[in-house]
Structure 1
Amino acid sequence: MAAMRARHKIRAPRRGFSHAKTDDFDSIWEVLSVSLNEINTKNASSLSFEELYRHAYKIVLMMRGDDLYEKVTELEQSWLQTNVQKLITESISASLLRAQSSTDAQDQSSERREAGEKFLAALKDAWEDHQLCMGMVTDVMMYMVRQLTKNSDESSCSHLVQDRMIITAHSKPSIYVTCMALFRDSILRSSVRPESSLTITDMLKSTILFMISLERSGHMIERPLIRHCIQMLEGLYETSTEEESSKLYLTIFEPAFLEASKEFYQAEGQRLLQIGDATTFCRVATQRVAEERERCRYTLAVVSEPKVLDLLDEHLIRSNIEEVVNLAESGVRHMLDHDQLEGLQNVYLLNARVDRKKEALTNVLNKRIVEMGKEINKSSIVLPQAAAAAPSSEKDGKGEKRTEKGKDKEKPQNQQTVSAIRWVDDILALKTKFDGVWEKAFGSDQGLQSSIGASFSNFINMNSRSSEYLSLFFDENLKKGIKGKTENEVDVLLDNGIMMLRYIKDKDLFESYYKKHLSRRLLMKRSASMDAERQMISKMKMEVGNQFTQRIESMFKDMTVSEDLTANYKEHVARNGDPDQKPVDLEINVLTSTMWPMELMTNAKDGAVQLPCIYPKEIDILKSSFERFYLDKHSGRKLSWQASMGTADLRATFVRSTGKTQRYELNVSTYAMVILLLFNEIPDGEFLTYDAIKERSRIPDHDLTRNLQSLAVAPKTRVLKKDPMSKDVKPTDKFSFNHDFHSPFVKVRIGVVSGSANKVENQDQRKDTEKKMNDERGGSIEAALVRIMKQRKTLTHSQLMTETLSQLSARFVPDVNMIKRRIESLIDREYLERVGEEPPTYGYVA
């Protein structure tokens, strides 16, 4: 560091000095040399700098500037070698010399540290004294320095500038630079002992590295002392041109420091791995980063900070991070399972230092998410299976006991529905957990967010019923789950469901289930809030597009139109009068057949023709009245009545054996209404067989069985008697009106067994759904193929496959073999043609 140079106002000497005799050089130099020695011994208080300046000026005017330059250099070199070098070497103790060859730093750390501090202090003092003294010497030689600089600027050739030219312009370094170089050569490059090849520089380097090693081991060191010595190395250069890259710090110390750091962090990594604790590794590694940054900024040099941190990243973090995150008892999996957010944050920050993609962390994170997701998938299957396998608590018998057993056997089906909803709840809880980890530990990293989402999508789509389960989740919550919730809570609930929909690949299958479940909610009036229903549709439209929700929105439109239609029909009846003496209040829903899941409304299978239900006379009259009203307004349309989705309210009178009567209002399905009204047509006490009821009503077997079970088997709603009493309904069973029916409520709702609620499909229903979905997908694939070929005209097989997969992937993942079959079908029907074999190429047939 350059010393502060005092600025003295010195008057220029008279011109007469230029005529001084050259013989005066020796006498003047004698005076100057004595004074310079006084400066070196820090005894300059009695000196006159003006007088010394004049002496130097005289010599310059004698044209002996070169001689003066050499004399000063020789004097300072002699001083350094004779006095300063001795002080430095004397500060180096024998123990410090012995320590150079020892590798056991800890055993001799205290003694070596004290000896090292003594040596560093001596070197620091010598350097600072030298800087101060050379600053004074430079001031004395100011005129000589000025002439040197002037000549260096004006020319690179030797020439005279009047009579003041004293130094030829071969660009000698300034006296200050030369004297600094003397310290480098005479002190730092000198041997610590006459017989030793070890230099002061070697001792300085090893001592500082030892101090750094101590600090890395947790010991306190004299940082300011080291900092002064480092500044000395930063202030000295290999050459007199003083280029930045030639600083002794960069050429001598930094390479050794970096090599020592490399060895340290290689060993540190192995030491931490042997401990086998990921939290400890991450904590120590994070601490090391902070320590190295602080060390370079306040003890060494800032220029070394990125270099040593690169070494730390490479040999401590990058080399070990994968093994650390996979440690069985403390790695990322353990941290995730025990919500150790701080540890996860440290892992993230360390991994991010060495890998922009953070692959080590990402791989373990993804693997754990999928593992936890598989457990959720497994539990959704195991739980209902366990319920199905559990033995009934009651033995076979008659009457109530047999009925209760039948009820127990229905539990697995209900349990599957509960399990399906729990599956969604568990996934949402898992997503909430990892969202918290992502936000608090991973700094909301967008790359990790995508990776987490992909992992959720992975295991969600491993469950072949994911679309059905998610639709059941919405169904449950839109029926009763939103009751008592605020608008914000409802919004969060729907958003969570939409988030899961985002992960499901077969969105067309979800749409199919959602329409089924929605149709029941709308037609059975089970929705807790129509606003929430419409809000849900709006969110789905934003997520998957207008095409996805088009049919669903049409279902809501039909319901709105039906409300107006019902009101208009009632006005029509009121205006024209009703010929029926006992008018029936009618609420009608007219549904567009192409927009609703009509498979729910008919039980005809395998293409069989299903005959229409035979309604009671009063209902048939009402039906005909509405048809006339509707078709008058909409000529050309055809109404097809779907009794399977309707309900009816009946007033039933039960005559007890005591002669007392009891009236109830029964809410039943339309089919149940038809069945019950048949008993008005037979004498009291008579019965109807299953076959007779079927013949008189034409109710499909499946619906007839379920409705008879609800009316005659379910314990709390036995308005009919069954003979013989059993859970199963057989063609020979007899049914009669049960006048002994009793209920604590006047209004009694009789639900259809396994029919009125949305539940998980059984295997047969699942197969039917898959078959219909494959048929629909086949149509979608063909439409996409024709659309692409019509636009492109000619494509190779691979190009056509790629574009088709791309277009359809938003709704479902097409099966490659199905696409191939559809291409062949289009070729057979002459929509496409083959135009080449190598490679296979198709053309569009206009």
Structure 2
Amino acid sequence: MLLGCRRSLLTTSRYTLSRNNWKLYSSLADKYHPKVSLLPFTNDVLSVQAKLELLVPPMFGLAAAIKGYGQMIFGKDVVDSGIKRTNFKPIYIPTWKVDCIASFTSDLGDSDHPTVMHLREVTVPGINHHPLARWVKSFPTDVDDASPFSKGHLEPLNGTYDILALPFMTSPTAIHQALKEAPYGDIEITEGWSVDPRSVEFQMLAAYPLLHPAFLAEYTLGDKHITIIAHGYHDYFSVWGHTSHPGVWVNAEQGATVTYLRATKPIVGGPAAMPDFLDEENTPSNLERIAYEPDMNQTGAQELAWEKLSASVQQIYAKNAASLSFEENYRHAYNLVIAKQGKMLYDGLVGLISENLDIFAKEKLVPVFPRTELDGRDSMEMCQAGELFVKAFREVWDDHESSMSKISDLVKYMDRVYTQSANVPKITEQGSKLFLTEIIHSTRYPILAQLNATILLLIRMERNGTAINRSAMKQCVNVLLTLRDTNIKAVFESTVYKLNLESEILQESDTYYTNRAKEMLDLHDLSEYLKLAESFINAEQDRTHSYLSFHTSTPLQNILISKILTPHTSRLLKGPDTVVSEATTTSTHKPNTALDLLIDTERTEDLARLLRMFQLPPEESGMRLLRQRLKESIVGRGKAINEECDEDTITSAKQSTDGKKVGEASTKSLAVQTAIKWMNDVLNLKDHFDRLLKNSWGGEVSMQTAINEAFESFINQNKRAAEFVSLFIDDHLKKGMKGKMDAEVDALIDRTISIFRFISDKDVFERYYKAHLAKRLLQSRSTDDDAERGMIGKLKVECGFAFTQKLEGMFHDIRLSGELTDSFRGFLQRVTEGDDSAITIDMHASVLTAGIWPITNTTDFGGYVMPPVIAKHISHFERFYNTRHTGRRLSWQPNYGSADIKVSFKARKHELNVTTAAMIVLLTFSDVEIGQELEYSDIKAATGLPDVELQRQLQSLACAKYKVLRKHPASRNVNTTDSFAFNYDFTAPLQRIKIQTIASKAESTEERRETEEKVEEERKLQTEACIVRVMKDRKHMTHNDLINEVTRQLASRFTPVPAAIKKRIESLIEKEYLERASDKKSYNYLA
């Protein structure tokens, strides 16, 4: 019967049961006695019936149980007859709620000092029928809804049922013995701690009647009778019942999955007693109500009880509670409440608590107020004084809480009965309110002001480097977080900490960090400033989590950011007016800001901290500003690279070198040197910022975007960027890949592609790349076919199949030309067979598909006068080609060819590798006597070369490193008045010599304009093709939508200007591909 009761273990002490005079009250009035409480019906009739009978979770209904188990118990004939409900009644079942004090010993205690427990609301059956008496143990113990009878108790029944209240059949005088005879030996207080049943004694405090709502349902199953009782209070649901079949009972506890039938031993009282419950004479009007009440009407009993109880309260505050008898003091408080003296008891306790709190303030707090004269003295003395005060404050709180806990145990009955009816706070809640009024907001002593000032002082001292007792601070602040203004609903917003302390902490912090920021700006650079700022932020976060409220962390951090970072981010990035870096920079760009200094010196940790700190302020003064300054820094470096690699700059640098060296033709053209320098500088700059992005910024997306935008900006400011990238690739594919591992080659290609991505005019790059690739393929200058194809594969990934289609076609032509040359050699052998005078040379002809290769000169031989032996072999090749392909016309382009010539000099023979034009020039001297000179005009007439080309070839042969011709007069430039002779005395250490043609310094203005015009013409065609594709798909589009879509699709090749797109639209309208719609703002596609 102790199952479900609420109990509190109080103390172990010598205990002697005492007897009091109890008066038995009995009423036979024709209405509910005020002492009788009832629980309301909260389960409606239909839901209970459904749970009993239907398949409703969490349990199966009675019908399902009968179907599953009935045949085994009753037999098939009975079950097949079906179950029928014959009666359904809401009833009230009588119980006693008992308050008592129990003492007992256990296997862990001793008989001289038993354990004393207060048992409250122990449920005891008020009826002696065995089935119901056993069922009472399943009743809920929380009965906060219990109250004197009203019509509201029966509301879910909708007034359609009469209520049967079963009579009390057990007397409260028998409860004491019933409790004592309960099976305590089966109860464990804790694991391994069992009650000795022989030692149990009870001191009755009160027994009051409580009626529990239930439903009684009757069913027939053939000739069998089934009775079931179910709870009517809340959603708590269990059933207990019986059948008229001997030894069969219906039972289902809450949470069971099946309502089942089980056979049990015969029960005393048996099924035959159950119909007595339905005696119609047992109505509520003649229900017997019984209750215990102590007799407090004796003279002076109330005063004596309060005198003893108040003396005990004073002993509690004096820390002498161990000498008190809990049972005696509990009974005093209980008796006063029963005697209608709850208000006197409550008010008396409030007065005693207030009195003792005032004593605490006067004797424990005021004497340790920090003295104002300590200001400015030794910080350690100030710190000790402050810590002493906050410790004293916490000690006062702990003493108050300990006393209130003990007082609350004594007056639990008052808290349960009087405070609820009088609508006043429980004594512990009232104690907290009294602490607020008597201590925190005391009108006699400035405790709160002193407390706030002390806390602020200790915080300020800790910020300045003094170690303080954080544990004492935390304990003090926790008190302020515990005390609340109950008029404010939000928990934290109602605390004393929030209402009285937090604002002062924030104001103090605002002032402190405003002053610190001014000091730091004058004394520290960007790196040191950010270190201090981060240390402040970490310190404040640690402070709030150590002894302040975590709610303060966010506003405190906002103050820090607003004072230390936000107003000064621009100045911090700029730094002092003059910043000099001692480190080697990535370019000749000199750092002139604090950010530049960090970047150039690659201070990884400082840059990582820079990002962390600039993520804290608002976007406009934080990350947006940092990204903008980063972009400016990168663009500044990029502009310096562009200026350093300007053609005029390179030329001036060359002219300032040694005269003899200047006079020699460089093996690398000026344009290639410029391109390589520019690309190397840009790649080094890219590598530099890639390292910063990885090591300092952790790949932060917005920083990477800023870096990419900056590189795109300065790279596209260089109008020759596309040409430079192509020249860089060309140079490495011709020479730079020798000796490199595959991984190194792939890395170089990837780095180059990373720069290529930033070029907006990719069609310009394509034009240059095709030209350079054509020379490499036709002159066999490429050193690594895998690298060539790898580069084209990367370009295809970046720009798509259309971008590399012609490049792949060029490789296809070279492969077919190799096969064609092998066949031509056989043909030539057959043609010259038997002709001893025939001179044969090994000629390799590359047949190129028109439209794929970047060949613009369609004139046969470009005006070149071919030597007879070469002309004869060309004729043979045309005959051979025509036999294999009819209807095709060959147009010879010797300016893309090369030749290997064996030349006998005085010292030795050398094999010279030269261009076709250089070969024609050298063969002009084959029939000239040694030492005989030829005039420039004679050479021009013999070769047919235009002046520009002839001068380049003569300069390569007479003025460069390998001087196989002599020039008169000697100079590094070729004029039309010069004369040339074969240099018979030429010597060189190598047998095979490659004579490179001196390239022009750069495209001339006319050549560049011609290139731009060709690019522009190609763009017109591409733009028109794109417009047609889009309109063919969409059929109808507005002007703006068409502009946007065309711009998007062409972005992978170049960035079209809206005005240019508009012109192409007009052209297509004229060509009748498009027409304007009637609204004049959109276009229609014409099939």
Q: TM-score, normalised by structure 1?
A: 0.86
Equivalent-residue separation in structure 2 for 1:690 and 1:242 (angstroms): 106
Is 1:752 paired with 2:1009? no
1:563-585 residue CA offsets vs partner (Å, 9 max, x unmatched): 22222323444567645543322
- Aligned CA-pair RMSD: 3.1
Of 457, 470, 485, 1:210 maps to 457
Give 2:1022's aligned amino acid: S
Question: How many residue pairs end up in the alignment?
Answer: 786
Equivalent-residue separation in structure 2 for 1:699 and 1:545 (angstroms): 41
**Residue 169 of structure 1 aligns to a residue in which SS?**
helix
Give 2:321's aligned amino acid: A
1:346: how far off? 1.4
Instruction: Give the equivalent residue in structure 1 for 2:426.
Output: 174
Structure 1 residues 448 and 688, CA, compared in 2 at 3 Å: closer, same or farther?
same
Is 1:290 paired with 2:538? yes
**Residue 645 of structure 2 aligns to a residue in which SS?**
helix
Of 515, 526, 546, 2:781 maps to 526
Is 1:705 paired with 2:951? yes
Please show how residues 107-126 of structure 1 align to structure 2 within 5 Å: 109-126=379-396
Instruction: Give the equivalent residue in structure 1 for 2:739.
Output: 484
CA contact (8 A) 1:237 1:243 kept: no
Of 1046, 1049, 1052, 1:804 maps to 1046
CA contact (8 A) 1:471 1:513 kept: yes
Is 1:20 paired with 2:293? no
Of 632, 635, 647, 2:886 maps to 635
1:160-208 residue CA offsets vs partner (Å, 9 max, x unmatched): xxxxxx5562432111111222111111111454xxxxx3122212211
Q: Which moves more between the two structures, 255-264 or 124-133?
A: 255-264
Structure 1 residues 241 and 574, CA, compared in 2 at 3 Å: closer, same or farther?
same
1:44: how far off? 2.4
Of 953, 962, 983, 1:716 maps to 962
Structure 1 unpaired stretches of 5+:
100-104, 149-165, 194-198, 395-403
Give 1:765's aligned amino acid: E
1:110-163 residue CA offsets vs partner (Å, 9 max, x unmatched): 554333223222211111111111111111122222x33xxxxxxxxxxxxxxx
Instruction: Give the equivalent residue in structure 1 for 2:627.
Output: 362
CA contact (8 A) 2:670 2:1002 kept: no
Instruction: Give the equivalent residue in structure 2 for 1:339.
Output: 602
Equivalent-residue separation in structure 2 for 1:689 and 1:256 (angstroms): 100
1:559: how far off? 1.2
Structure 1 residues 571 and 121, CA, compared in 2 at 3 Å: closer, same or farther?
same
CA contact (8 A) 2:861 2:891 kept: no
CA contact (8 A) 2:9 2:117 kept: no
Structure 1 residues 279 and 567, CA, compared in 2 at 3 Å: closer, same or farther?
same
CA contact (8 A) 1:797 1:839 kept: no
Of 321, 330, 346, 1:53 maps to 330
Instruction: Give the equivalent residue in structure 2 for 1:380.
Output: 645
Equivalent-residue separation in structure 1 for 2:977 and 2:383 (angstroms): 106
Structure 1 residues 9 and 772, CA, compared in 2 at 3 Å: closer, same or farther?
same
1:502: how far off? 0.4
Higher-Rg member (1/2)? 2
1:729: how far off? 4.3
Of 567, 586, 592, 2:822 maps to 567
Is 1:90 paired with 2:198? no
Equivalent-residue separation in structure 2 for 1:792 and 1:730 (angstroms): 62
Structure 2 unpaired stretches of 5+:
1-7, 12-115, 119-201, 207-291, 580-592
Instruction: Give the equivalent residue in structure 2 for 1:586.
Output: 843
Please show how residues 765-804 of structure 1 align to structure 2 within 5 Å: 765-792=1007-1034, 797-804=1039-1046
Give 1:255's aligned amino acid: S
Structure 1 residues 338 and 136, CA, compared in 2 at 3 Å: closer, same or farther?
same
Structure 1 residues 833 and 74, CA, compared in 2 at 3 Å: closer, same or farther?
same
CA contact (8 A) 1:413 1:760 kept: no
Equivalent-residue separation in structure 2 for 1:202 and 1:468 (angstroms): 77
Is 1:542 paired with 2:794? no
Structure 1 residues 239 and 528, CA, compared in 2 at 3 Å: closer, same or farther?
same
Equivalent-residue separation in structure 2 for 1:428 and 1:820 (angstroms): 38
Structure 1 residues 688 and 87, CA, compared in 2 at 3 Å: closer, same or farther?
closer
**Residue 54 of structure 1 aligns to a residue in which SS?**
helix
Of 610, 614, 618, 2:865 maps to 614
Aligned-pair identity in percent equals: 34
Of 696, 699, 724, 1:441 maps to 696
1:645-698 residue CA offsets vs partner (Å, 9 max, x unmatched): 2122223345x6xxxx85333323222333333444567776654444444443
Please show how residues 62-81 of structure 1 align to structure 2 within 5 Å: 62-81=339-358
Of 116, 121, 127, 2:397 maps to 127
Instruction: Give the equivalent residue in structure 2 for 1:268.
Output: 516
1:38: how far off? 1.0
Instruction: Give the equivalent residue in structure 2 for 1:494.
Output: 749
Q: Which moves more between the two structures, 427-436 or 255-264?
A: 255-264
Equivalent-residue separation in structure 2 for 1:465 and 1:240 (angstroms): 75
Structure 1 residues 223 and 735, CA, compared in 2 at 3 Å: closer, same or farther?
closer
**Residue 615 of structure 1 aligns to a residue in which SS?**
coil
Q: Which moves more between the two structures, 462-471 or 347-356?
A: 347-356
Equivalent-residue separation in structure 2 for 1:686 and 1:350 (angstroms): 80
1:55-94 residue CA offsets vs partner (Å, 9 max, x unmatched): 222223323222212211111112222454343222225x
Give 1:92's aligned amino acid: F
Equivalent-residue separation in structure 2 for 1:241 and 1:818 (angstroms): 68
Equivalent-residue separation in structure 2 for 1:563 and 1:624 (angstroms): 19
Of 918, 941, 949, 1:672 maps to 918
CA contact (8 A) 1:85 1:186 kept: no
Structure 1 residues 91 and 192, CA, compared in 2 at 3 Å: closer, same or farther?
farther
**Residue 677 of structure 2 aligns to a residue in which SS?**
helix
Instruction: Give the equivalent residue in structure 2 for 1:227.
Output: 474
1:260: how far off? 2.5
Give 1:643's aligned amino acid: P
Give 1:172's aligned amino acid: V
CA contact (8 A) 2:10 2:117 kept: no
Equivalent-residue separation in structure 2 for 1:747 and 1:539 (angstroms): 35
Structure 1 residues 106 and 766, CA, compared in 2 at 3 Å: closer, same or farther?
farther
Of 440, 451, 467, 1:188 maps to 440
CA contact (8 A) 1:834 1:840 kept: yes
Instruction: Give the equivalent residue in structure 1 for 2:44.
Output: none
CA contact (8 A) 1:384 1:412 kept: no
Q: Which moves more between the two structures, 632-641 or 734-743?
A: 734-743
Instruction: Give the equivalent residue in structure 1 for 2:213.
Output: none
CA contact (8 A) 1:81 1:186 kept: yes
Give 1:63's aligned amino acid: K
Instruction: Give the equivalent residue in structure 2 for 1:556.
Output: 811
Of 706, 709, 714, 1:451 maps to 706
1:424: how far off? 0.8
**Residue 320 of structure 1 aligns to a residue in which SS?**
helix
**Residue 866 of structure 2 aligns to a residue in which SS?**
coil
Q: Which moves more between the two structures, 356-365 or 795-804?
A: 795-804
Equivalent-residue separation in structure 1 for 2:404 and 2:366 (angstroms): 22
CA contact (8 A) 2:296 2:302 kept: no
Structure 1 residues 127 and 702, CA, compared in 2 at 3 Å: closer, same or farther?
same
When you count strand as a share of all residues, which structure comes out higher? 2
Equivalent-residue separation in structure 2 for 1:5 and 1:326 (angstroms): 71
